[in-house]
Amino acid sequence: MASIARKNLIEDIPRFLAAQAGIMFAVSLVTIQNGILNGFVQSSSLLIDKSSADIWITSEDMVHLNLTMPLALEQLTKAQKVPGVELAEPLIFQSARWRDPTGQIQAINLVGSNPDGKLFAPWNIIEGDLESLKQPYRVIVDESNLNSLQVSGVGDTVTISGLEAKIVGLTQGTQPIVNSIFVFASLKNANAYVTVPLQTQTRCTFENGNLNCVNVFDDSGDRQTQTDISPEPRPLTLTDPITYILVKAKPNQDLQQLQAELEATLPNTRAYTRQEIAEKIQDYWQKRTGVGFVLSLGAVVGILVGMIVVAQILYASVADHIKEFGTLKAMGAPDRLLYSVILEQAFWMAVLGYIPGMALCLGVASWASATQGILILITPASAVGVFFLTLVMCGGSAFFAIQKVTRVDPAIVFKA
């Protein structure tokens, strides 16, 4: 019976290729949609996953990484004195305005950390180094964002919130799908960018070692020099805002106990373990937004399209060979033997459609990561899951063809 199944499958090459194209489309759509969803959810906590902190202290009002209330730097000094805390470091995560060399603006997320810190630092640096961030008004960006930021690379100068920002390094694979563009800076530089007075028409540049800021359009129409901005960012004070406090616990310290003590010491805050805050952020994007529904809907559409194409091809194949099936029934072949021919056709269609479809998906995922910085996460488990889903899809599609074989009259063999 296997030879009959293969013969029927490849007898009409154009029809066979049409079926495989439909299955490839279904496999690709399901895999990529699922990969985008998994990558989207996982990348939402990328900043947290790349830290070395055991506990993240946030405002009690935090909803997700971008939506929270600031903390005062004074709370960091209190956290450092809590028994069981080995190390505590501040992290600034704030939105800001980026103005590229062409004059266009866009939203970015400033990530400010201590270049000498132990709990967080920009990772996968492919050009430049962390030491460069210690210089005034220096930043590092991801190479995948160069086109979006309208810059060519290291050495380019832009403005952030009106202050100069010079690119001194590039990272790779540090840009989540869910967030605005990440721009890494030192604590002092990030604090200067997020605390500068809002002056939308102010441009600041370095001239002869001094920082000069001018209002492009003031009330009189003249360009006026601003003298109230320091040529070098000032150190943070206890009243300056930070966004998160990263804590490393002492060895063998009970984290739940430390969380309780930190929350008692720092009013209006929450202390999360790294896994807890990552899950909180991932749950927000997966369950409280429509992203999961939209991507799942696309996967369902792919399955339906694949089932329809396969069902049509198998039904047409049975119709073309109806006399052969009638002959087998006239010879006394049981129905299960006839069904096995159709199911084997469906099996081979699933396998031969899945392999090139998955290869295409892996290629697209690699290209998207390398050129667009988009994580399409295809894990071995998800690849196996899609394979079994493809088998179910093709097996389900064979139902209509099986129904036609069930109703075939062996007498059809003797009809003209």
Quote the pLDDT of residue 110.
Answer: 92
DSSP letters along 85-117, please?
Answer: EEEEEEEEEEEEEEE-TTS-EEEEEEEEE-TT-
**Virtual CA dihedral for 139, 143, 149, 153, nearest 10 degrees?**
70
Helix (H) or strand (E) holding 226: strand 224-226
Instruction: Report the pLDDT value the prediction gives residue 325, as an integer from 0 to 100.
Output: 63
Are 284 and 40 contacting, i.e. CB atoms less than 8 angstroms apart?
no
Q: What is the pLDDT of residue 322?
A: 62
The tens-digit pLDDT sequence of the chain (416 residues) is: 446 656 666 666 777 777 778 788 878 888 887 888 778 777 788 888 889 999 999 988 888 888 888 898 889 988 988 898 899 999 999 988 898 888 888 889 999 999 888 999 899 889 888 888 989 899 999 888 888 888 888 888 888 888 888 999 999 888 887 778 899 999 999 998 888 765 444 555 555 544 455 544 444 444 444 444 556 778 888 888 899 999 998 898 889 899 998 988 988 899 999 999 988 888 888 777 777 677 777 767 777 776 777 777 767 766 666 666 666 666 666 667 777 777 777 788 888 888 888 898 888 888 887 776 677 888 888 888 888 888 887 777 777 667 666 665 555 555 54
d(CA 342, CA 394): 10
Rg (CA), the chain: 30
- Residue-level pLDDT at 226: 42
CA–CA separation, 32 and 378 (whole Å):
8
